[in-house]
Structure 1
Amino acid sequence: MQTSKSSNLGTETISKLLIKQAVPASIGILVMSLNILVDTIFVGQWIGSTAIAAINVVLPVSFFIAALGMSIGVGGSSIISRALGANNNEKAFKTFGNQISLTLLFTVTFAAFGLYFVEQLIPAFGGKGNIYEPAKVYYEIILYGVPVLAFVMMGNTVIRAEGKPKFAMYAMLIPSIGNLVLDYIFIGVLDFGMAGAAWATTGSYIVSLLFIFWYFLSSNSELKINLKHFYLQKNIVSEIGALGFVTLARQAVVSVTFLLVNNALFDYGGETSITAYAIVGRMSMFALFPVFGITQGFIPIAGYNFGSQQYDRVKEVIYTAIKYATILGTLVFIALMFFPEIITRWFTTDQDVINITPNNMRLAFAAVPILALQLIGSAYFQAVGKALPALLLTLTRQAIFFIPLMYIMPLYFGELGLWISFPIADVLATIVTAYFLRREVKLNLNKDS
């Protein structure tokens, strides 16, 4: 085999390597986030603010099923990065084949389950009153495309694990651009309403999946699609499951959080409050794209160098990633504190929504400058194959701190208490992550390389 590009992960200077990995990841996340952002703007302006709330109701279910693919991708990619770092190419090939089989098995099963229980799931996730009908239309179409999205998310993480960030970026750009074009055609020109928004999203996923298949069938990839590797192997499935469960648990908690917050806000302020939360959620995906990009760029570098026992480089990439992500997070924080009303008006002309969203947005993002440490810290343990601490640190932010706080704080402060639970949970999770990351560096990375 020719010298692979993945070997650069162990030789290039860390700062250059991190930029090379993080910039394409950030661009991909930015465009995907812009896609979600503009999609929401199209829906809000052309269909109405209730349609924004309807999409927010559907997200937990679609996110969870798509997260199955993402978790299989992240879990397997950690194995692939370390296997390539240790020159164990056969294990990398077998892992990739098992990822494909697992993604197909789980996502199709859960999508079928989600479609069967449509009548029960939509109200459970906050699809009540005027929100129910548009949510149902959107939900049923999106569920058909979610397994495709799962394969896209799985393939994207594997491409990045190979050290090919530009191709990973292309795989994210294609559905984003495609969705915007199809949104304009299906909603703006053909006036298909909620069905048009859903078909635009599903169609864009299919185009991206075709690109990913082309990548793995071409000479660009070190990994090849081979039927003999599709047979599930217990040791590989167990390792993928242990590491992937971290991502799946995080996304499951995100879905549960959407469910709980949507229902709580419906009780406090009805459809208006749910729409405000939907806008804040979209901005969370969009505004934090550089921080998420650095986190994604960090993972294969940390995993490869840990696998090759270059511990000084692992420490260096941890500190460099935290520094860069903190600087960018602070810039995002400043923008969100000063311009929340302008941002809200991008989404809607509903004055009731405009009145309540800006202050809630400030509260939700109040702890953004320190969030980089929590994200990088939890990602490190996943990158190096330490599933249990990765799981615990991933769950601290929402499951361990936010969900209890969202029940306790409103008892004293009403709806305000729910919104201030976001920054409090961020601060507490960051403190816990900092402790465990510092301990890990001291005990396990201060070794001779």
Structure 2
Amino acid sequence: MAGEPPPRFVVGSTMRHVLVMTGTASVGLIAIFIVDLVSLLYISWLNEPSLTAGVGLATVVMFFTISINVGLMIPIGALVSRALGARRPDDARRLATSCCILMAAVATVVSLVILPLLPLILSAIGASDQTYEVARNFLWITLPTNGLMAIGMAFSTVLRAAGDAKRSMYATLSVAAVTVVLDPILIFGLGLKANGAALTIGIARVAYIYVSFLYLTRAHRLLGRPGWAALATDARPFFAIAVPAILTNIAAPVANGFFTGVMAQFGDQAIAASAIIDRVTPVSFAGVFALAGAIGPVLGQNWGAQRYDRMKQTLKDALIFMTVYVCSMWLILFLVRVPITQAFNAPPATAEIVQFFCQLSGFIWFFVSLVFVANASFNNLGYPLLSTFFNWGRATLGMIPFAYFGAQIGGPKGALLGIGAGSVVFGIAAVITAFWTIRRLERQAVRAV
């Protein structure tokens, strides 16, 4: 409408938008990931390797449910940001409301399906008797609250779609704050061990909903009264993006489950190493995870405004940031590889695997990050099936044979090296294709005029 200010991401430096959105998202993510890391650190101090390995196996399953939730976030960010970019605030409010409800419903159903399948799943990824009990108990506490986590993630995504990265960050930090306070009380003070960490997760998710809801309703008024008609109307575009996005996202936990199974054949110390790596990786490369979610609203608003030049520049800026970030974290991990294993009281075999990962991490994550950035573009610009193709391609052809044969030749280290080698082709091809899709959208817009 005339006289209204333009949407936030349609004007100003695209690099600034990328840095601000990624930076604020990174703070929240790093806080959560650090808390997860510290939780595992606390459990490792109990000097019971089966607890560390059991929580590691539980994390593999939780990674699957969280990956589905992240896939459900993508249509929320894409649809709401696009409506705001086209200056249709009423549509944005309706879409935000409907999509949040749909996301919560799907996440709840996913948990209900997985819970009775836990014996089969945990056995498939190599759980022994002791680690099985730890993982099963942990998941029976955490999985029932997955729907609550989905609601908080949905609200936080709407905040980012509106360009309010700061409040989205504060909502995410509430999870970390609750966990920092409760974890030591429940794990050590009440002697609940791994189950204490699981209980903390559920309580923190309630705090996440409360804080993000307050910000969303008081600062933006982007939630309205839900209606069946609107829900039915919005379900179609929601699932059109969500289904391929979920298929894309579950490639990573499926591949992670396979990798955990490969490591399990080398014993509990190798599983413990995998658990430590799974905690160190998101803390170290949280900027990449944040970047993949942060550039979506920037691309979406500029697509709604038909600013294709800014869309290309946003993608270039994202790649520049990613390259500098990954190389910096690679250096840091290389320098602190020994203190990391010492902090976890890692036995020799575990320490050797973790330190090798730190030496190799930048090579692996540079090419994995290329896929992340490209997928963010595909999901927000109407090409979600390409995201599915590249993620599953990397997780199957680019990982399974390389990790399997690498393990046969070089043990756990060979498996890690295989993951990096298999990601090279898919990372490069994904970025080239991302730029092609923007050029195609621009040509289609010109022909339509």
Equivalent pair of 1:94/1:230 in contact (CA under 8 Å): no
**SS of the counterpart of 2:398?**
helix
The residue number in structure 1 matching 2:186 is 186
- 1:380 aligned onto 2:377: yes
Q: Please, what TM-score do these two structures have when normalized by structure 2?
A: 0.92
Distance 2:141 2:121 in 1: 15
Tell me the equivalent position of 2:399. Answer: 402
Q: Distance in 2 between matches of 1:93 and 1:229?
A: 15
Paired with 1:88 and 1:395, the residues of 2 have a C-alpha distance of 35
Q: Relative to structure 1, is the Cα distance of residues 4 and 340 closer, same or farther in structure 2, using a 3 angstrom cutoff?
A: farther
- The residue aligned with 1:240 is 238
Moved more, 403-412 or 203-212: 403-412
Q: Does 1:265 align with 2:270?
A: no
Tell me how far apart the structure 2 counterparts of residues 188 and 4 of structure 1 sit (CA, whole Å): 55
The 8 Å contact of residues 68 and 103 in structure 1, kept in 2 or not, is answered as: no
Q: CA deviation at 1:407?
A: 2.9
Structure 1 residues 344-359: aligned runs within 5 Å: 344-359=341-356
- Aligned in 2, Cα 1:410/1:360: closer, same or farther, shift over 3 Å? same
Aligned residue identity for 1:282 = R
Partner of 1:155: 155
Aligned partner letter, 2:242: G
Give the C-alpha shift of residue 257 in structure 1.
1.9
Does the CA contact (< 8 Å) of 1:73 and 1:155 recur in 2? no
Equivalent position to 2:280, from 275, 280, 283: 283
> Could you tell me which residue of structure 1 aligns to residue 197 of structure 2?
197
Taking structure 1 as reference, are residues 370 and 256 closer, same or farther at Cα in structure 2, changes over 3 Å only? closer
Is 1:434 equivalent to 2:434 in the alignment?
no
C-alpha contact 2:94 2:223 (8 A) present in aligned 1: no
Counting matched residue pairs gives 446
State the shift of 1:161 in Å.
Answer: 0.7
Matches within 5 A, 1:333-372: 333-372=330-369
Matched ranges for 1:75-94 at <5 A: 75-94=75-94
**How far apart, in 2, do the equivalents of 1:180 and 1:20 lie?**
26
Question: Secondary structure at the residue paired with 1:401?
Answer: coil
Q: CA deviation at 1:349?
A: 4.1
C-alpha distance in 2, partners of 1:148/1:385? 28
**Alpha carbons of 1:68 and 1:285: their partners in 2 closer, same or farther (altered >3 Å)?**
same
What is the identity, as a one-letter code, of the residue corresponding to 2:66?
Answer: A
Task: Tell me, in whole angstroms, the C-alpha distance in 2 between the residues paired with 1:167 and 1:6.
Answer: 20
Structure 1 residue matching 2:45: 3-state secondary structure: helix
Q: Deviations over 1:214-255 (max 9, x none)?
A: 22332x124123122675325x32322232234422332222
Task: Measure, in 2, the Cα distance between the counterparts of 1:279 and 1:365.
Answer: 17
SS in 1 for 2:143: helix
User: How far apart are 1:307 and its partner, in Å?
Assistant: 1.2
Q: Which amino acid aligns with 2:406?
A: M
Bigger mean CA deviation after superposition, 326-335 or 120-129 = 120-129
State the superposition RMSD in angstroms: 2.5
| Range that drifts further, 143-152 or 336-345 | 336-345
Question: How far 1:160 moved relative to its partner?
Answer: 0.5
Aligned equivalents of 1:142 and 1:2: distance in 2? 49
Shift of 1:10: 0.8
**Quick check: 2:43–2:51 contact (8 Å CA) kept in 1?**
yes
How far apart in 2 are the matches of 1:291 and 1:183?
A: 27
* Whole-angstrom distance in 1 between the partners of 2:232 and 2:5: 27
Unaligned runs of 5+ in 2: none
- In the alignment, is the contact (CA less than 8 A) between 1:67 and 1:150 conserved in 2? no
Letter of the 1:82 partner, please give it.
R
Q: Contact 1:5/1:164 (CA < 8 Å) preserved in 2?
A: no
Superposition deviation, residue 364 in structure 1: 4.6
**How far off its partner does 1:371 sit?**
4.4
1:70–1:154 CA contact under 8 A, matched in 2: no
Contact 1:175 1:204 (8 Å CA) reproduced: yes
| 1:396 counterpart letter in structure 2 | G
Q: How does 1:124-163 map to 2 (within 5 A)?
A: 124-163=124-163
Contact 2:126 2:261 in 1 (8 A): yes
